[in-house]
């Protein structure tokens, strides 16, 4: 089947010849330079990589199909800037060798969904777009990427279920996106502050977060940083708390089940957490607010990736050395966190160069070890074989962690991480619920006293049900 807008949609088989040649460090040299000069870089005093921690060499795969023309790529401005300083020349170097003129545009992550919607409506724009969360709501407007996902799995083994659930719609059998990587979402905490309240290893449960966070705010005036605003981190935090109480937006059969005693209990807890350990700032945060607050020493704990700490290594080394991490907090029923970032690459139906977009994605994936290194271990692979160095890097950070094994706990991150649709898939309805911030708004309404927890949950489900019904009527959501 050929999707609209595709010049060709060939299935690639693993027995076709692949020609690899070393591209040297053309792109990675830029990344290494960035690691030593980037403000807020990854190592001591500016981010120099540890001696002997060489960047992976990139390779170039001859395209299976003759390529030409332009390839326009749109993606976010990475939270770890050295990634983009590696990616842009990497993409353009591939274009030179593949015979394609590559253009790379970066914009703030919060602007990407709106930009996608505008380009879809206009029927023109970028050929290849990356976002940091599931884009399932755009399934009707994108090409099916099953062929390259299957090709990637034939090369590198089984894709992480977390990434498959965030790019595949079981109701349609289509891969609405290609998910080559993801980012864990641990808790980041100030060691000295939590040591003072008897928790030197940080909180391990939501109850400990409440108890310790309240004591720290009372004694030090330093609040927790759990957002309840219309931004991505608030979306992730709210889901983690719901799951910990045994609640969820949908069940494994894609039926709406939010309105439950467990969800009400989670909202009651968040209301108490806000009143005892936070301030009104959390209602108006953007995606950078908790990072900035932690680096400035104004927050005791945030639910985030490692990027805030990486920035602090250059901007405020004393704070960076005082930041530690914990996995997903345990609640009454579970200890589960959403991925912090889920890379969704889409090829819109209006794309003019679908073949080049797919070839580039496979090339990028085959060099994912370089992407992981350039992102200072922020980006994790969807196919673990792609980055065999990862466990060693986590055990002995190449970018100056103190202690060097500060990130070792992330080797088990897949055990406590899941997709935003858990326990079901990140279907089209889940994508819209996520994109319209129903869950953080639910928590915020109760925390501000605009509704009691039971009312807030019921109102949220009343918003969610029509979204599911709309997409189910179009055959894009399973269940009944």
- Segment 379-403, tens digit of pLDDT: 999 999 999 999 999 999 999 999 9
Per the domain annotation, does 432 fall within a domain?
Answer: yes
Q: Which is nearest to 213 in space by CA: 284, 302, 305? A: 302
Together in a domain, 279 and 368? no
Q: Do 315 and 426 share a domain, yes or no?
A: yes
Please indicate, yes or no, whether residues 219 and 161 belong to a single structural domain of this protein. Answer: no
**Residue 298 pLDDT:** 94
Do 263 and 326 lie in a common domain?
Answer: yes
Of 408, 431, 447, the position where a domain reaches its end is: 408
Residues 104 and 121 in one domain: yes
Q: In terms of residue numbers, what domain contains 60?
A: 20-183+341-408
Query: Does residue 45 carry a pLDDT above 80?
Result: no
Residue 11 falls inside a structural domain: no
* Per-residue pLDDT, 11: 26
In a domain, 10, yes or no: no
Q: Is the pLDDT of residue 35 over 60?
A: no
Domain count, the chain: 2
Q: Is residue 30 part of a domain?
A: yes
- Do 223 and 352 share a domain, yes or no? no
- Do 127 and 256 belong to one domain? no
Q: For residues 310-339, give the mean pLDDT.
A: 96
pLDDT in tens, 99-138: 999 999 999 999 999 999 999 999 999 999 999 999 999 9
Q: Is the pLDDT of residue 267 over 60?
A: yes
pLDDT digits (tens, 9 = 90+) for 249-264: 999 999 999 999 999 9
Residues 127 and 205 in one domain: no
User: Of 368, 391, 408, which residue constitutes the final position of a domain?
Assistant: 408
Assess whether 231 and 96 both reside in one domain: no
In terms of domains, do 317 and 346 share one? Answer: no
This prediction's pTM? 0.88
Residue 219 in any domain: the answer is yes
CATH number at residue 125: 3.40.190.10
Shared domain for 320 and 353, answered yes or no, is no
Determine, yes or no, domain membership for 14.
no
In a domain, 29, yes or no: yes
Domain boundary among 356, 384, 408: 408
User: Quick one: 34 and 89 in the same domain?
Assistant: yes
Domain presence at residue 218: yes
> Residue range 79-100: average pLDDT?
96
**How confident is the model at residue 54, as a pLDDT?**
77
């Amino acid at each position: 089947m050929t999707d609209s807008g595709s010049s060709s949609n060939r299935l690639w088989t693993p027995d076709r010849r692949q020609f690899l040649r070393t591209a040297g460090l053309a792109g990675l040299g830029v990344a290494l330079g960035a690691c030593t000069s980037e403000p807020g870089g990854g190592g001591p005093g500016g981010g120099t990589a540890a001696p002997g921690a060489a960047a992976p060499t990139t390779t170039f795969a001859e395209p299976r199909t003759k390529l030409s023309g332009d390839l326009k790529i749109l993606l976010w401005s990475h939270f770890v800037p050295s990634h983009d300083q590696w990616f842009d020349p990497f993409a353009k170097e591939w274009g030179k060798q593949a015979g394609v003129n590559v253009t790379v545009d970066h914009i703030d992550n919060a602007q990407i969904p709106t930009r996608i919607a505008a380009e879809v409506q206009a029927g023109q724009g970028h050929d290849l777009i990356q976002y940091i969360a599931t884009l399932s709501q755009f399934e009707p407007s994108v090409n099916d990427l099953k062929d390259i996902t299957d090709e990637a799995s034939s090369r590198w083994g089984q894709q992480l279920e977390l990434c498959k659930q965030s790019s595949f719609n079981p109701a349609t059998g289509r891969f609405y996106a290609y998910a080559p990587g993801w980012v864990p979402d641990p808790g980041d905490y100030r060691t000295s502050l939590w040591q003072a309240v008897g928790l030197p290893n940080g909180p391990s449960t939501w109850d400990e977060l409440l108890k310790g966070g309240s004591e720290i705010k009372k004694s030090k005036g330093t609040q927790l940083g759990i957002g309840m605003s219309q931004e991505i981190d608030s979306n992730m935090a709210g889901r983690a708390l719901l799951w910990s109480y045994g609640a969820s937006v949908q069940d494994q059969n894609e039926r709406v089940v939010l309105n439950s005693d467990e969800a009400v209990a989670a909202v009651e807890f968040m209301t108490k957490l806000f009143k005892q350990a936070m301030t009104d700032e959390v209602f108006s945060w953007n995606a950078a607010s908790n990072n900035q607050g932690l680096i400035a020493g104004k927050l005791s704990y945030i639910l985030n990736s490692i990027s805030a700490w990486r920035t602090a290594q250059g901007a405020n080394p004393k704070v960076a050395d005082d930041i530690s991490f914990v996995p997903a907090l345990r609640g009454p029923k579970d200890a589960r966190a959403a991925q912090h970032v889920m890379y969704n690459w889409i090829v819109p139906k209006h794309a003019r160069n679908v073949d080049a977009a797919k070839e580039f994605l496979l090339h990028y994936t085959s060099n994912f070890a370089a992407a992981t290194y350039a992102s200072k271990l922020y980006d994790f692979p969807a196919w673990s074989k792609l980055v065999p160095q990862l466990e060693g890097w986590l055990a002995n950070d190449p970018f100056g962690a103190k202690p060097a094994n500060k990130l070792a706990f992330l080797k088990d991150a897949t055990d406590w991480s899941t997709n935003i649709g858990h326990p079901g898939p990140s279907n089209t309805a889940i994508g819209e619920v996520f994109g319209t911030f129903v869950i953080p708004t639910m928590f915020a309404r109760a925390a501000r006293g605009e509704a009691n927890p039971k009312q807030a949950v019921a109102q949220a489900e009343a918003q969610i049900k029509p979204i599911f019904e709309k997409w189910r009527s179009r055959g894009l959501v399973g269940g009944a």
